Chains A and B, each alone.
Chain A
């Protein structure tokens, strides 16, 4: 069974640029969620994708957007990068979108914005 994978592992961008992060869900999982983990803090929910649509969103501005593909993999796009976007971005997958499901996390992508 393949776990959640993410790419790239590390990324350096400059303020104002755009970035795309990628996630492959665990085998059999159709739901993907994205989290931002700033240094010294717990992960914060960005949004969740199910059936190729966003079905829940946290307190993040519209410049954070995503996609889910028919094979359930997902992308997180961030436009107009700001210094505060520097963080570890985590992807998690689950069997279904509801609150009763357990989420399994990938290793994360560490983004540094200069």
Chain B
């Protein structure tokens, strides 16, 4: 069965620390990969996505993610976090050639950044 695993449920960092959130997926076919973010009191927003091409993807607000096909991973990184990055982060995957768009989400990682 298709699944997405996010290794850290809660992460606490100080401002300016580096961030890496792990994401592994299990799926037999070719996939599209996403990171969504949910800031406190706001709706899910797309942070970045990978469909094809360069496996290092840059998103909004200085975030990037690297697709490593051999490891079935799509880890999210940011070199220096800010207090405003406090949010919940979700990794998601869908089938690239699927007839319909079923996103499979991980359980999420709650990030708290202290000033």
Contact = CB atoms under 8 A, between A and B. Distances in A.
A55 B99 contact: yes
Contact of A99 (B46, B96, B105): B96
Contacts of A55: 99-100
Sort chain A's interface into a size bin. 20 to 34
Contacts of B45: 105
Contacts of B34: 102
Interface in A40-95: 40-45, 48, 50, 55-56, 58, 90, 92, 94
B99 A45 contact: no
Interface in A13-53: 31, 33, 35, 40-45, 48, 50
Sort chain B's interface into a size bin. 20 to 34
A98 B42 CA distance: 26
Output the residue of A50, A99, A103 with the most chain B CB within 10 A: A99
Contacts of A41: 107-108
Interface in B65-115: 90, 92, 94-108
Given A98-B99, A99-B96, A107 B104 contact: no
Contacts of A92: 103
Top 9 closest pairs, chain A to chain B, by CB: A56-B100, A42-B105, A99-B98, A105-B44, A107-B43, A45-B102, A99-B95, A48-B100, A99-B94
A40 B46 CA distance: 19
Contacts of B100: 48, 50, 55-56, 97-99
A104 B98 contact: no
